[in-house]
Chains A and B, each alone.
Chain A
Amino acid sequence: MSARSADEARRDILAILPGRAHDLARLQELAQDGEPIVTVIGKYNHGKSRLLNELVSRDVFVVADKRQTTTLSQHLSHGVRWLDAPGLDADVANEDDRQALQAAWLKSDIRLFVHTAKQGELDETERRLLEELCADEQRTRRQVLFVLSQIDQLADDGELASVLQAITIQVPHIAPHVVSATRHRHGVEAGKTLLVEKSGMPSLRTALDEALGRVPAARSHETGLLFTEIREELQQLSGRREQELAALRQKQRRLLQNFKEGLDAVFAKVGREIEEVVNAPIPDYAMIPDTAQDKYKTTEAKLERARIQIGYSRACIQIDSFLIGQGVSGLPKEQQTAAGSLNTVMVAVMGVSVKFRNDLRHMFCEAPGRERLQGEFTRYFELSEASTVLRAKIASSEIELKAMERAVMALETLEAGA
C-alpha cells in the first residue's frame, strides 16, 4: 500500500470517526513495524535522562539538576528506539506535558514510568497518570515498568522501606523497580560489584529485555484490537444511519401513498357528483347560444350552465381544500396576495377557461383525463416544501452512508496493508 493511499484511507475513516484520530495515528506507528520503542515518562528532574543513559550504556541524553529535556529526543541503540520525553509539571504553558504524553501514548511500546525516591510517595497527578498507563496496558498490552529512581539519594534502607510501603498503598498492583543510575555508573566505572548489584539496573535491564521480547505479540494484539474497535464503531454507526435512512424512505413512501389515496377518494367523490350533472337526461343546452327566438331553450341553457357552474365550483373547492390540507400549496400569505380564491396550483392544473359539459366529463368521469389531473397534482405534491425537505434529508443521508461505506473500505485497505 502506498503512503498516499494509506493517507487517503485514514482521511476517509477520520471523516466519519474524528474521535479515532489518535488510534489511527497509533496504527500508522504500528504499521511501520520499526524497532521497539521505549519511552521514559515522569516529572522533570526525576532522573529520566540519566536512567536512559545507563540503559543504553552511553551518555546520549543530557543530564542536569534542573529542568533539562524540553523537547522529545531519541536514540537508537541495540535495536531499540529510546525516547526521552520532557518532564511533566515543569512547563507553565503545558507544552512539555503535551509532548511527554504524546510520546507516552503514541510512540511507545514500553513505558518506563519514573518517580524519584527522594520525593517519597507519588503525588496525585503522578498516581493518576500511572493508573492510566496501567489501564492502557490491560487494554493494549503495551507494557508499563514502574521505576523508583535515584534511590542513592535516600539516607538508608529504612527510608527506602518506608517510601516503598507508602507507594505500595498508593498503587498496589504494580511493583516498582528500585533503581539508581548514578550508583550503577559509579560501580561500572570503578569496577565495584556491590554498587552495580545494589543499583537495581541489572534486574531492570532483565525485566526490560523480557518486556522487549513481548513487544511483537503486544503489537499484533494492539493492531488487531484497534482495527476491531474501529470496525465495530463504523458498523454500529452505519447500521444506525441505514435504519434512519430506511425510516426516512418509508416516511416518504407513506406520505406519497396517503396523498394518492386521499386524492383518489376526492376524485371518486367529485367524479360521482359531476357524473350526475353531465348525465342529466336533457340536451346539452349549454352549447346552444341564447336567442330571442327560442325562449324556452334559452332558459334551459341557463339552467344547464348554472348546474355545471355549481358542480364544477364544488369540485374545485374539494380538490383545493384537499391540496391545502396536504400542504401542497396555498398558505395564508399566498392566499392573500393571490387574485382569486383558488390557489396557483389549482389554476395551473385546471386552467381558467370556462368549462362545458364535455370538458367536465373528460376531466372527472373518464380515466385518461382523471389520470392526467391526478398525475399533475401528484407532481405538485412532490414539489411541495415538505416533500422537498424530506428528499434533501434522504439525499444527505445517502451521501453520509456512502462516506461510511468508503470508510469501511478504507479500513479494509489499511488492515490489508498492516
Chain B
Amino acid sequence: MKADTNHEYRFMSDVDALDFFEQDLEAILRKLTDRFGHLTRDLDTAALNRDGLRDGSTLARQADAVNRLLKDSIAAWAGQWVDLQPAQALAHAFEDHAILLVFGTFNAGKSSFCNFLAERFAAEGKAVGYFHLDDGRIVDTQEPFREGATETTARLQGVRLGAKLLLLDTPGLHSVTPDKAELTQRFTDSADCVLWLTSSAAPGQVQELEDLGRELARAKPLLPVVTRSDLYEEDEIDGALVKGLRNKTPQNRAQQEADVTARAQDKLAAMRVDAAQLKLPVSISVHMARSHGQTSMGMEEAGFERLYAALLAIVEPALAYKRRKPAETLLHHQEEHVLGTLRARLLPLLETLNAEARLALERLAQQQERIIESVWREVVPVLAQLLERHADTRAVDRVCEDLSQSLRLACIQAEKEHLADYLPASFQGPAPIILDEGLGFDELLVEEGELRQVVGVDYARLYAGLEKQLSHLVLERVEARIEQCRATILALMNAVAHLAGIVPAYERDLRTLKTVLRVNAG
C-alpha cells in the first residue's frame, strides 16, 4: 500500500485541513438558560408548607427533607456548573482544534495509544506538543505520557497532533481510587468526540458499557476501540524462556468485536439509548505496531488502517458536535445534574411522602374513634360523680361547669395522645355545656292535700340528658379536629402534586430544546 493512499495519510492531511466555523447558538443557549431560571423559580415557590404538623412527625420530617433537597440542589447545580468551567475553558483554548477524548478503564492502554499516535504524526513531520493541566493551566512539556502495566495516569494530559488535532488522555475509570474518575467525568464534555478504549483482556465490561451508554446518550460521536489486541507466545529454547508478541488473529478480533457490540447493544437498550449511534469497534495493538517498526504492513496488521478509516468517518460528526458543543454542555448539565437530581432524588422523596400522607389519611378514621372512646370513658364517670356530689344542693350549674372543664381536658389529653403527629387544635372548644330547657335535678314529691313532701332527688333524666349532650359535643369536637387534620394532609398532598408536576414539564421542555439543538444544528 502506498503511503499517500493509506487511511493514515489521508487522516493526517484531512485533519490538518479542517475548517472550523462557528454556529450561532445564542437563541438556543438563551432558551436553555431561561428554562432553567423558570425551573428554579418554580421550585423556589413550590417549597412544601407543613403547617399543622408537629416537628418530629414523619410527614414533617419528610416535607423538611424535600425542602432541604430543593434548597441544596439549587446551590449544588450552581456549583456543578462552576465545576464544568475548566472543561469549557479547555474547549475554548482549543477551539481551533478537533478534540478527541481518550476514555477508558485504568488499564485500557490510553497513554500508550496517545503516545503512539503522536509518534506517527511526528514521523510524518507534523508538530507534536505534549502538555498537562495543572490547576486549569496548560503546562507544555517535552515528555510523552507515562506508560505502565499498572495504573499510571493521575492527571489530565493532552497532546497536539499537527495543527488541528488534540488528544486528551484521561485518568482511568473504575480503579480503586475514585477521585480520578471524577476528574475524567468532569472533562469529558470538553471533547468533540470520544475514543472509548477497552482492553482486549476482558473487553466491554458492564461498567465500561455504562460509560459508553452515557456518552452516546449525550449524542457525542464515539468510537469503540479494543486495545491491546495482541498476545505473547513463548517457548523454552536452550534452557531459557523466549517470548514473542503477535497480533490476535482476525477471527479472534472479529469474535471480540462482535461480542462487545452485542453486549453494548443490550446495555444501550437497557439504558434506553438509541443503538443506531453505536459504531463498530476496531481492534488494535499499539505494542505490535511499534515492535514491527511501524511499517505499512505492521500498521495494517496491528489494526491501525481500520482505526484510521473509522477516525476519518467520525471527523464530520465530531465537527458538527463541536459547533453545537456549548449548547450541548449546558444541555447535559441540565439533563444530568438538574433533571437527574429531580428524578433520582426529588421524585422518590415525593412519592414516599405521598404514600405516607395517604396512610395518615387512612389512619384518621381510626384515630377519630379512639379519641372519642377515650374521652367518653373519661368523662361519663365524672358526670356520674358530679351528679351525685351536687344532688343535695341541686347545683346544676356547677355540674355543667365542672363537666365542661373535664370534657375540655379529656379532649386535649386524648388528642395529644392519638394525634401526636399534629399540632394542637387551632380552635377553642368543645362548646360549654348548656342545659336543655326543663332539664335539672328532679325532686320527687309526695303530695297529701296541702302537704308536699320532698322524698328525694332523682337525676336519671339529667344523667340521660347530659350524656346525650355530652356525646353530641364530643362527636362534634372530635370530628372538627379530625377534619382539620385531614385538611392539613390534603393541603400537603396538593403541594406535593404541584411540585411533582414541575418535573415532567421541565423534562418535556428539555426534550423539545434537545431536538431543536440536534436536528437543526446537527
Please give, as numbers and ranges, the residues of chain A lying within 8 Å of B175 by CB-CB distance: 121, 123-124
Determine whether B276 belongs to the interface, using a CB cutoff of 8 Å to chain A.
no
CB pair B236–A46 under 8 Å, yes or no, is: no
Determine whether A15 belongs to the interface, using a CB cutoff of 8 Å to chain B.
no
Determine whether B439 belongs to the interface, using a CB cutoff of 8 Å to chain A.
no
User: Could you count the A-B residue pairs with CB atoms below 8 Å apart for me: how many are there?
Assistant: 199
- Chain-B contact segment, one of A87-95, A363-371, A401-409: A87-95
Residue interface bits A314-330, CB-to-B below 8 A is 1, else 0: 10111011101111001
CB pair B381–A116 under 8 Å, yes or no, is: no
Please give, as numbers and ranges, the residues of chain B lying within 8 Å of A166 by CB-CB distance: 150-151
Q: Which of B375-401 contact A (CB under 8 A)?
A: 376-378, 380-381, 383-385, 387-388
Determine whether B438 belongs to the interface, using a CB cutoff of 8 Å to chain A.
no
Determine whether B468 belongs to the interface, using a CB cutoff of 8 Å to chain A.
yes
Determine whether A195 belongs to the interface, using a CB cutoff of 8 Å to chain B.
yes
Please give, as numbers and ranges, the residues of chain A lying within 8 Å of B295 by CB-CB distance: none
Residue interface bits B446-487, CB-to-A below 8 A is 1, else 0: 101000010111111001100110111011000000000000
Please give, as numbers and ranges, the residues of chain B lying within 8 Å of A321 by CB-CB distance: 380-381, 383-385
Complex Cα spacing A331 to B202, Å: 74
Q: Which of B194-213 contact A (CB under 8 A)?
A: 199-207, 209
The range of chain A's interface size is 35 or more
- The answer to whether residues A336 and B468 also contact, given A162-B150, A306-B456, A341-B460 and a CB cut-off of 8 A, is yes
Determine whether A125 belongs to the interface, using a CB cutoff of 8 Å to chain B.
yes
Determine whether A81 belongs to the interface, using a CB cutoff of 8 Å to chain B.
no
Determine whether A228 belongs to the interface, using a CB cutoff of 8 Å to chain B.
no
- The answer to whether residues A313 and B232 also contact, given A65-B256, A120-B107 and a CB cut-off of 8 A, is no
Determine whether B174 belongs to the interface, using a CB cutoff of 8 Å to chain A.
yes
Determine whether B148 belongs to the interface, using a CB cutoff of 8 Å to chain A.
yes
- Chain-B contact segment, one of A17-25, A29-37, A147-155: A147-155
Nearest opposing residue in chain A for B213, CB measure: A92
Please give, as numbers and ranges, the residues of chain A lying within 8 Å of B453 by CB-CB distance: 303
Please give, as numbers and ranges, the residues of chain A lying within 8 Å of B256 by CB-CB distance: 65-66
Nearest opposing residue in chain A for B457, CB measure: A310
Residue interface bits B167-189, CB-to-A below 8 A is 1, else 0: 00000001110100000000000
B449 CB, nearest partner CB in chain A, Å: 9
- Chain-A contact segment, one of B262-270, B319-327, B328-336, B424-432: B262-270
B232: which of A153, A306, A327, A330 is its contact (CB, 8 Å)? A153
- The answer to whether residues A332 and B174 also contact, given A46-B202, A66-B255, A159-B149 and a CB cut-off of 8 A, is no
CB pair A93–B270 under 8 Å, yes or no, is: yes
- The answer to whether residues A119 and B460 also contact, given A92-B266, A166-B150, A341-B467 and a CB cut-off of 8 A, is no
Total chain B interface residues with beta-carbon distance under 8 A: 72
CB pair A89–B232 under 8 Å, yes or no, is: no
B461 CB, nearest partner CB in chain A, Å: 8
B149, B207, B471, B475 — most chain A CB neighbours (10 Å): B149
CB pair B255–A194 under 8 Å, yes or no, is: no
A324: which of B377, B464, B468 is its contact (CB, 8 Å)? B377
Complex Cα spacing A46 to B202, Å: 7
CB pair B372–A317 under 8 Å, yes or no, is: no
CB pair B377–A327 under 8 Å, yes or no, is: yes
Please give, as numbers and ranges, the residues of chain B lying within 8 Å of A306 by CB-CB distance: 444, 446, 455-456
Nearest opposing residue in chain A for B391, CB measure: A314
A165 CB, nearest partner CB in chain B, Å: 8
CB pair A120–B149 under 8 Å, yes or no, is: yes
Nearest opposing residue in chain B for A312, CB measure: B460
Q: Which of B229-260 contact A (CB under 8 A)?
A: 231-232, 234-236, 239-241, 243, 245, 248, 252, 255-256, 259
Determine whether B106 belongs to the interface, using a CB cutoff of 8 Å to chain A.
yes
Nearest opposing residue in chain B for A157, CB measure: B241
Determine whether A219 belongs to the interface, using a CB cutoff of 8 Å to chain B.
no
Please give, as numbers and ranges, the residues of chain B lying within 8 Å of A310 by CB-CB distance: 444, 455-458
- The answer to whether residues A119 and B201 also contact, given A93-B270, A153-B231, A303-B455 and a CB cut-off of 8 A, is yes
Please give, as numbers and ranges, the residues of chain B lying within 8 Å of A335 by CB-CB distance: 467-468, 471
Determine whether B351 belongs to the interface, using a CB cutoff of 8 Å to chain A.
no
B376 CB, nearest partner CB in chain A, Å: 6
Please give, as numbers and ranges, the residues of chain B lying within 8 Å of A116 by CB-CB distance: 201-202
Determine whether A6 belongs to the interface, using a CB cutoff of 8 Å to chain B.
no
CB pair A194–B239 under 8 Å, yes or no, is: yes
Determine whether A235 belongs to the interface, using a CB cutoff of 8 Å to chain B.
no
- The answer to whether residues A322 and B381 also contact, given A121-B151, A122-B176, A327-B373 and a CB cut-off of 8 A, is yes
CB pair A89–B206 under 8 Å, yes or no, is: yes
Please give, as numbers and ranges, the residues of chain B lying within 8 Å of A64 by CB-CB distance: 255
Determine whether A170 belongs to the interface, using a CB cutoff of 8 Å to chain B.
yes
Please give, as numbers and ranges, the residues of chain A lying within 8 Å of B203 by CB-CB distance: 45, 66
3 closest A-B pairs by CB: A341-B464, A332-B471, A321-B384
- Please give 9 more A-B residue pairs, beta carbons under 8 A apart, in addition to A170-B176, A324-B381, A335-B467: A67-B259, A119-B202, A121-B150, A123-B106, A155-B232, A183-B234, A313-B460, A316-B460, A321-B384
**What would be 26 A-B contacts, judged by CB atoms less than 8 Å apart?**
A43-B202, A45-B202, A45-B203, A64-B255, A65-B256, A66-B256, A67-B259, A89-B207, A92-B206, A120-B107, A123-B105, A123-B106, A155-B232, A162-B148, A195-B236, A299-B446, A302-B446, A317-B460, A318-B384, A318-B388, A324-B381, A327-B377, A330-B376, A332-B475, A335-B468, A336-B468
A residues near B (Cβ < 8 Å) are 43-46, 64-67, 87, 89-94, 116, 118-125, 127, 150, 152-156, 159, 162-163, 165-166, 170, 183, 186-187, 190, 192-195, 198, 295, 299, 302-303, 306-307, 309-310, 313-314, 316-318, 320-322, 324-327, 330-333, 335-336, 340-341
B residues near A (Cβ < 8 Å) are 105-107, 148-151, 174-176, 178, 199-207, 209, 228, 231-232, 234-236, 239-241, 243, 245, 248, 252, 255-256, 259, 263, 266-267, 270, 372-373, 376-378, 380-381, 383-385, 387-388, 444, 446, 448, 453, 455-460, 463-464, 467-468, 470-472, 474-475
